[in-house]
């Protein structure tokens, strides 16, 4: 590959072009901020930036609105930072050393920067499967989970945990409801039936998918079950602690992916 082609590839990957127009397209899932604040682009907007000299140097960051997450910058012809999840720096300074190349590529063409935001609640709906591991006792088992939307905009979670759980071999499934991330940071507090016992669970779900919960296990002869973790469009990761009525607690991990 000759030097000119290498330089052109470097320019396309790392820099907007002299005398070009940068079009930032933002959906309703978030917004874009720039280093200087002069090139921010609001939710649901199309913003055009004229780049006319060698001094342009801005880093753009995608910021999700409550209930959404930033997945990546969109890929495509003429799109900058495609596939990356990091802030996107666009700058012209390398062209100063190559004025001939700058002259060749100086056009009025549009180039693009577009963040992809995903509605976390919608992305979470469906079937999930994975495994739990008790790091204290070295036991493990399969776990499946189904997430469905409720009429009031919440999320109904039904989980089925195999193995020795809460002193029972292959216990029945449990179902409870949590607030959807699209509602913003929210808390839940409810009682549900599990294997003929009433269990009380309290917790919180953030707008970005972080959650924590505590379940009273006194009806099962134990103290409590504590869990915290993060849910994303395709993965659910958590750590948990089982507190017994006496003695040391047991800890473990849960990893579930969307089917």
Rounded to two decimals, the pTM is 0.66
pLDDT at 127: 96
105 plus 140 within the same structural domain = no
Q: Is the pLDDT of residue 95 over 80?
A: no
Q: Which of 88, 118, 148 is the last residue of a domain?
A: 118
pLDDT at 87: 93
149 plus 206 within the same structural domain = yes
DSSP 56: -
Q: Which whole number is the average pLDDT over 11-15?
A: 44
90 plus 189 within the same structural domain = no
Q: Is the dihedral of CA 12, 14, 19, 25 positive or negative?
A: positive
Give the CATH number, domain containing residue 253: 2.40.128.20
Per DSSP, the three-state class of 51 is strand
User: 100-122: per-residue pLDDT in tens?
Assistant: 335 434 556 788 999 999 888 88
Q: Which of 118, 143, 171 is the last residue of a domain?
A: 118
| Mean pLDDT across the chain | 83
172 plus 241 within the same structural domain = yes
What CA–CA distance (Å, rounded) separates 111 from 105?
A: 12
Query: Which residue in 45, 48, 250 sits closest to 139, CA to CA?
Result: 250
Structure-model confidence comparison of residues 41 and 85, the more confident one:
41
What CA–CA distance (Å, rounded) separates 188 from 185?
A: 11
User: 204-234: per-residue pLDDT in tens?
Assistant: 988 778 899 999 999 888 999 999 999 888 8
91 plus 112 within the same structural domain = yes
Per DSSP, the three-state class of 3 is helix
pLDDT at 234: 87
- Domain of 61 in residue numbering reads as 19-118
Residue 62 is inside which H or E element, if any?
Answer: strand 57-64
33 plus 97 within the same structural domain = yes
User: 22-77: per-residue pLDDT in tens?
Assistant: 899 999 999 999 999 999 999 999 999 887 766 778 899 999 888 788 889 999 98
What CA–CA distance (Å, rounded) separates 24 from 148?
A: 34
Number of domains the chain contains? 2
Where residue 151 falls (left for φ over 0; alpha for ψ -120 to 50; beta otherwise) is alpha
């Amino acid at each position: 590959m000759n030097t000119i082609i290498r330089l052109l590839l470097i320019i396309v990957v790392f820099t907007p072009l002299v005398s070009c127009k940068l079009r930032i397209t933002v959906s309703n899932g978030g917004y874009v901020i720039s280093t200087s604040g002069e090139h921010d682009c609001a939710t649901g907007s199309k913003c055009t930036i004229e780049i006319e000299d060698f001094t342009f140097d801005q880093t753009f960051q995608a910021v999700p609105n409550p209930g959404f997450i930033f997945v990546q910058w969109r890929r495509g012809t003429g799109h900058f930072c495609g596939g990356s999840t990091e802030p996107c720096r666009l700058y012209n300074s390398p062209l100063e050393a190559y004025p001939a190349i700058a002259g060749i590529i100086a056009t009025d063409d549009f180039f693009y920067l577009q963040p992809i935001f995903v509605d976390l609640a919608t992305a979470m709906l469906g079937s999930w499967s994975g495994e739990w591991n008790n790091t204290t006792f070295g036991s493990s088992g399969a776990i499946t989970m189904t997430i469905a939307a409720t009429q009031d905009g919440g999320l109904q979670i039904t989980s089925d945990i195999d193995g020795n759980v809460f002193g029972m071999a292959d216990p029945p499934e449990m179902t409870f409801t949590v607030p959807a991330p699209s509602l913003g940071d929210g808390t839940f507090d409810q009682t549900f039936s599990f294997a003929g016992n009433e269990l009380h669970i309290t917790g919180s779900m953030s707008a970005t998918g972080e959650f924590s919960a505590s379940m009273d296990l006194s009806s099962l002869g134990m103290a409590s079950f504590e869990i915290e973790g993060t849910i994303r469009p395709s993965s659910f990761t958590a750590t948990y602690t089982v507190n017994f009525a006496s003695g040391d607690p047991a800890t473990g991990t849960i990893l579930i992916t969307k089917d």
